[in-house]
Structure 1
């Protein structure tokens, strides 16, 4: 993998359309097993519904939230990370497809959010201790609620007729 990988996320075909909106992610391995990501959502800020105040950490994905899925090729185990504009985050562990095996926080990722009238940015650093060791398969995703509260589901790929971030067919980055 190059030192830096730039990706464009795509809205699921069933997601409400918002003309001019885009979601780009830059991924950088840190050379010591950790990952740096930069999510950049562009569009009219007035079109988005952002959470405020503290949310139930186990339901961050129910509001506007940037996400990362990490598994190891050949293993059914995987981990999901949710990052909320409130500054909250959560980690979920799975033993198999949608088989929740625990929630954890572990070592905290470093998060930095910025917003402007036409963009929302998140810089995140996940230390190696929060990630599975060895080769990794990644799914980079996001849920963005529009002003009416309707979710748009963004991912690298959408392999199913309905949005499903847990489906490994959408995890298209191998490290």
Structure 2
């Protein structure tokens, strides 16, 4: 199991968040299980209300957890968005922010558990959805999140922020090998 801390972009602080951790578990032939653990003063963070578990654009405009997946030998990559509401999005790109047609065949399974100080989102993605069938090249992950405060401000969290501005699509931010 892989476990890492996400870091807030210096220009988008959110004092209500005490920590944001990411865990990944990959079982051969099974789903990839992701867990985002947010701890802090949840009364100051907007967590979307439950909605039907359907593909939805624009999730990143509110509290949302994200995963970017790329193979080291190609500029192509995939983006997955997981909302605490249960909604999700999945996109394919041929290069930096250049979308290409793709439809996920099995939607991710998203679960949210919450206590007074902790919100934990678990998402499962079918391994086959990554469409990288060759094991010759390693996969790189960009792990990120957008956290919306009660006042509407957005903070941007990632394993690594390679630019002056938050940009989760920047490939040098895909720093987690799989």
> TM-score, length-normalised on structure 2?
0.90
Deviations 1:132-173 (A, max 9, x none): 323311011000001111111000000100000001111111
Any idea what SS the aligned residue of 1:21 has?
A: strand
* Contact in 2 for aligned 1:47/1:146 (Cα 8 Å): yes
Picking from 42, 45, 62, the partner of 2:39 is: 42
Distance in 1 of aligned mates of 2:91 and 2:16: 33
2:48 alignment counterpart = 51
Matched, 1:159 2:159: no
Long gaps (5+) in structure 1: none
1:32 aligns with 2:29: yes
- Structure 1 residue 51: deviation in Å? 2.2
Unaligned runs of 5+ in 2: none
Residues in 2 aligned to 1:19 and 1:100: alpha-carbon distance in whole angstroms: 34
Q: Is residue 2:70 matched to residue 1:68? A: no
Match of 2:2 in 1: 5
Which residue number in structure 2 is paired with residue 169 of structure 1? Answer: 172
The answer to whether the 8 Å contact 1:139/1:155 transfers is yes
How many residues in Structure 1 have an aligned counterpart in Structure 2? 172
How far residue 15 of structure 1 moved from its aligned partner, in angstroms, is 0.7
Q: 1:174 to 1:35 in 2, by over 3 A?
A: same
SS state at 2:160 partner:
coil
Of the structure 1 ranges 144-153 and 126-135, higher mean CA displacement relative to structure 2 is found in 126-135
Instruction: Give the drift of 1:103.
Output: 5.2
| Matches for 1:15-164 after TM superposition, within 5 Å | 15-18=12-15, 21-32=18-29, 34-52=31-49, 54=51, 57-102=56-101, 104-133=103-132, 134=135, 135-164=138-167
**TM-score, normalised on structure 1?**
0.91
1:7-40 alpha-carbon deviations (Å, 9 max, x no partner): 0000000112315521001111112264111110
- Alignment RMSD, CA only? 1.8
1:73 Cα deviation from its structure 2 partner: 0.5
Query: 3-state SS of the aligned residue for 1:58?
Result: coil
Q: Summarize the Cα distance change of 1:8–1:46 in structure 2 as closer, same or farther, 3 Å threshold.
A: same
